[in-house]
Amino acid sequence: MVGRTDHLQREEPMRIRSLLAALLALVLVASACSDDEGTAAGDGTWPDKITFGFVPSTEQEQLLDDIQPFMDVLSNALGIEVVGVVTTDYTGLVTAMGTGKADLGAFGPFGYVLAQQQFGNMEVLIQAIRYGSPTYHGQWMTNDPSMCDTATESATALENTADGVTQVGALDAVALQVGVYFGDSGKSLGESVDAGDVSPGTSCIADLSKVKG
């Protein structure tokens, strides 16, 4: 990532820390890697431009529109250009941060761990506290019930349909089917299953210390 990040990490004025702490509800990661082509400000302290990367947690074009007001606030407060980019997939932000294409990144926990394993040149600046906790309860999907510590339990899910948000059985939710990827929300579950593209998955809650591999 661009060399200007070192200044953001070590010589960063209190105003940017306060601003980011107040506005970000995500884990912010700054890459410590340096790039000879980085453009520094005239006094050598501030860069001329910061690239802020986001993962496509919603439709890419919509997210670009949603983050623009935030970029404008940061630009006005810092007095430099802050450009928001949304990568095409989750691993794209990992690569962008690791190779110097982005200066800041809004990561989830798994993405940050993956980025550190691959590049090892990033530092957490701010971590979100949600509902009073710095961590949250996660689940993972598998079509192998033998990997679960407990028996499968009935559950429901909310699904977006043409008629609005409806509640369906978890095993009937298109988004929870093995083989359905981001952007496939328009798939008909029946058509997908009939074509052999997907199979019902099981949501597991387990002690990650017991998961091997």
Overall average pLDDT of the 80-106 stretch: 89
The answer to the question of residue 157 being in a domain is: yes
User: Residue 179's domain spans which residues?
Assistant: 140-208
> Quick one: what percent of the chain has pLDDT higher than 90?
8
Q: Are residues 146 and 188 in the same domain?
A: yes
Statement: residue 99 has pLDDT above 60: yes
More confident residue, 59 or 113: 113
Statement: residue 107 has pLDDT above 60: yes
The predicted-structure confidence for 19-48, as pLDDT tens digits, reads as follows: 444 444 333 444 444 344 444 444 556 788
DSSP string, 39-108: -B-TTSSSBSEEEEEE--SS-HHHHHHHHHHHHHHHHHHHTSEEEEEE-SSHHHHHHHHHHTS-SEEEE-
Statement: residue 63 has pLDDT above 50: yes
Overall average pLDDT of the 45-70 stretch: 84
Domain-ending residue, one of 93, 126, 159: 126
Q: Are residues 172 and 201 in the same domain?
A: yes
Query: In this structure, what token pair is assigned to residue 37?
Result: 């082509």
Domain-ending residue, one of 101, 126, 151: 126
Q: Are residues 114 and 46 in the same domain?
A: yes
Q: Are residues 149 and 64 in the same domain?
A: no
pLDDT band for position 71 (50/70/90)? very high
Domain-ending residue, one of 98, 126, 154: 126
The predicted-structure confidence for 180-211, as pLDDT tens digits, reads as follows: 544 444 444 444 545 555 555 544 444 444 44
Q: Of 9-13, 162-166, 184-188, 194-198, which gets the smallest average pLDDT?
A: 9-13
**Prediction pTM value:** 0.50
